[in-house]
Structures are given as structure tokens and as C-alpha cells.
Amino acid sequence: MDPKDLFGKVLSAIEDHHRWFNSSLPMIASENVTSPSVRRALVSDFGHRYAEGWVGERVYAGTKYIDLVESLAMDLIKDLYNVKYADVRPISGVVANLSIYTAFTQPGDTIMALPITKGGHISMGPLKGSKGQFIGGTAGAVRGLDVKYIAFDDENMNIDVDKTISRMEKNKPKLIMLGGSVILFPQPVKEIVEAAKSLGALVNYDGAHVAGLIAGGQFQDPMAEGSDTMSFSTHKTFFGPQHGAVITNDEEKFELIKKANFPGLLSNHHLNAVAALAIAAAEMKAFGKEYAKAVVDNAKALAQALHDEGFKVVAEHLGFTESHQVLLDVDEIGGGYKCEKLLEEANIIVNRNLLPWDIKRGRSFKDPGGLRLGVSELTRLGMGKDEMRRVAELYRKVLLDKKDPKEVAREVSEFRKGFQTVKYAFEEGLAYEH
């Protein structure tokens, strides 16, 4: 292909994508949209530079402004989470988890985490499943850890404390990974920390999903509940960019985390993203409380509205959700794969997801029985509870009334016209520029 054609094709695909997302409802729970200021940092010259190592101890010259910005990013993160130490170098949530494994475990050690079927993330997963099938989770496949599972109570959509503690006593893990990818409710962090202490195990809370809600004071604070460390990505309920971080209050543990990140896992650590993270953290400090409250209010409102429209919303008896996520059980209306595709045709972007009871009823990750909806991005675009009712109606039209998704896409597009800019930011601007 002519390189110039290729160049044109890439640019026009990016523009098409922006146009599409400008007229869609982006509801992937692990995503969010960044402010114009965060995007400005992302395209800055910081992205062309190297600054291996720690601030003040760089292996490269030319880093005085980079050092200043990285120090600000660390200070802001420490302030937001009220902790003593922060490493903002992990380039993603997976790398943040890997830095925890590298710092505190050796290949062959046992750790415990939730299985993916019950909300765990692939980065906490084993190499192989119980039947010897390949899973390839980061903990097992990359660090060589033996992963045993935390017990989950499907009815309460939460960790089963008693069963988990007895599994901890049996398996003697070095590390317990809390948090997860499907997380509707605060977990029993205090109880697990207490049991872990008596067994000499460490607890890391993976706050990838709820980091912004924690910073905004709207979700459990795992560090205040005694977690040794918290790893997280910075772009789901946090204001972006795609990056990671680790925090702790323990100096010795922090030294191990620092070494794990450099020279262990990272050479350069994407300095433009560190600058963007500093700005996002400042936005969190200024607007996080208000934003996180709006996110949780919106998730609750959406869950209730979907229930009222006739959907099977998970955890009705528990008030549906206390996070940014809502889970739908769509087993009886075509399954996750089909529903995801129909919604996508209607410009509603969500992802299919395993529900805790899916394996028992013969479903698999390819066509699970659930949809995981997130409201972080719609909230950042300025939507509130009234809009959540409108969103639920649009879901009903596609999935229950079986209207032509293309027709609904036009309605979605019209509806989105009123929500084109990023809110909770120092500089408001178009969400998806083209």
C-alpha cells in the first residue's frame, strides 16, 4: 500500500472513531474520557524523553522539568489517598500489580485472589485452571505464582469472609489481592487484613476500578482499613490518562516497590503520562468529591431505571450498586454477546461480562450471561439522574422492545448532542476532538 494512502486511512479512521464516539453512549466500566488539559500533557514533548530511575537520581540528563512534574504527581497522589509514599511510574494497572508481585513474592509462592468469573482480573490469574486448561493470568504466567482463590458469596455479590479465612489458613499465601474488575460493593478489607496479619501475609488492594471513587471519598478507603499497599490504574473512575500507580504507608515496602519498578519492570515510564496524571490528580483534588458522588448516584439511578424498564438487574436486594458499575443478567434475552452487539449497533458501547453463576449455567466468557455497565464517562460528560432514566429507555428499546438498533442509534446521537464537553475540569472542551 502507498504509505501516503495508509497515512490518510489512519487519520480518517481516527476521525471516524471520534465522530462515532461523539454520538454514542460510552459505557465501558473500565474507561473514561480525559480533559483537554490532560490531553495537552499527553502530546507534550515529555513523551519523547527518557528519565529512568527516581527523581533526583536519574540516569539521563535534561530532566529538571520532568522531575518537577513527577514530584508534583507523587505529592498529589499522596495527598489524595492520605498516604506517605506513592510510585507513579507503573505504566498501567497490570504493571502496578506486577510491581507488587515482584516486590513481595518469589516464583512458586502462593497468593490469593478472586477468580475472573467472580470479579477478579486476569492480572491476578493463574497460569492454568483447575482442569489444567490454559488461563495465562499475569500472576501465574509471568511471575510463576500459585494462585488460590478467595471465596465469593454469589448471593451477597461479595467476598465470603469465613470461607476465605479458612482457605488462607490452609494455603498460607504470601499475598492477598483484593479489589477487582467487577465490584459493586465495598469488600471486607478490615477482616481480611486482620486474618492476613495473623498469618504473616500481605494485603494489596487493586483499586483499578474504584480509584477515583476512593479519591472522591465515595467508596471504602482500603488504606485506612489496613491494606499494606494499593495498586491501581488511573483511567477508570480516576480522570486518566491510561497509566498506573502504587501507594503505601510503609517505608521498607516502598523501597521494594521502587526497586521492582526500576530497574525491575520499567526502563522509561512514559513521562507524558506522568505529566497528564499530575493534571488529572489536580482535577481530582478540585472536583473529585463532587464527581465521585455524581458517579455513584448515577449508577444507582441507572440500575433502578433499568429495573423499572423490566431488566434483570443484579443485586436488587442489596440496592444494586455502590460503585460506578451496574450488572445486567441478560441470559434470558439472548445472552451477553448478542446484547453487546445489538447495543453497539445502537451506538451504546458496553461490554459483555461473566456473572458469578454463569459457569454453573453453562455459559462461558465468549458468550457470558451478563453485561457490565459503567457510568463514569457519561457522568464526566455532564449527565445526571434524569439522563440515566433516558439511557435506560434506550436500552429497553434495543433489548426488550427489539426496535431496529439503527433507529435507536439516531435517537442516541440526538441525545448526545447536549453532552459534548468534558466537565469536572479546569478547562472544559470537546470530549472527542476531530
Ligand X SMILES: Cc1ncc(COP(=O)(O)O)c(C=O)c1O
Contacts with ligand X, residue ranges (CB under 6 A): 30, 92-94, 97, 121, 123, 179-181, 206, 208-209, 233, 244
Closest among 229, 182, 216 to 285, alpha carbons compared = 216
Q: Closest separation between CB of residue 64 and ligand X, Å?
A: 29
Q: Closest separation between CB of residue 119 and ligand X, Å?
A: 8
Q: Closest separation between CB of residue 31 and ligand X, Å?
A: 9
Nearer to ligand X, 51 or 98 (CB): 98
Q: Closest separation between CB of residue 120 and ligand X, Å?
A: 8
Q: Closest separation between CB of residue 186 and ligand X, Å?
A: 15
Nearer to ligand X, 24 or 181 (CB): 181
Q: Closest separation between CB of residue 395 and ligand X, Å?
A: 23
Residue 394 to residue 405: CA distance in whole angstroms: 10
The cell for 338 is 448478542
Nearer to ligand X, 176 or 412 (CB): 176
Q: Closest separation between CB of residue 245 and ligand X, Å?
A: 10
Could you tell me which residues come within 8 angstroms of residue 394 by beta carbon, excluding any fewer than 6 positions away? 25, 346, 348, 408, 411, 412, 415
Q: Which residues of 15-42 are buried (b: 16+ CB within 10 A; e: fewer)?
A: eeeeebbbbbbbbebbbbbbbbbbbbbb
Nearer to ligand X, 175 or 394 (CB): 175
Nearer to ligand X, 74 or 116 (CB): 116
Residue 358 to residue 363: CA distance in whole angstroms: 5
Q: Residue number with the shortest CB distance to ligand X?
A: 93
Q: Closest separation between CB of residue 306 and ligand X, Å?
A: 22
The cell for 396 is 429497553
Nearer to ligand X, 179 or 405 (CB): 179
Nearer to ligand X, 372 or 416 (CB): 372
Q: Closest separation between CB of residue 177 and ligand X, Å?
A: 9
Q: Closest separation between CB of residue 115 and ligand X, Å?
A: 13
Nearer to ligand X, 98 or 127 (CB): 98
The residue count of the chain comes to: 434
Nearer to ligand X, 192 or 305 (CB): 192
Could you tell me which residues come within 8 angstroms of residue 276 by beta carbon, excluding any fewer than 6 positions away? 34, 38, 39, 41, 42, 240, 241, 243
Q: Closest separation between CB of residue 312 and ligand X, Å?
A: 24
Nearer to ligand X, 309 or 322 (CB): 322
Distances (CA, A) of 250 to 118, 230, 303: 30, 12, 39
Nearer to ligand X, 117 or 233 (CB): 233
Amino acid at 148: K
Could you tell me which residues come within 8 angstroms of residue 118 by beta carbon, excluding any fewer than 6 positions away? 149, 152, 154, 180, 182, 356
Give the relative orientation of helices 161-171 and 189-199 as an angle to the nearest 10 degrees. 20
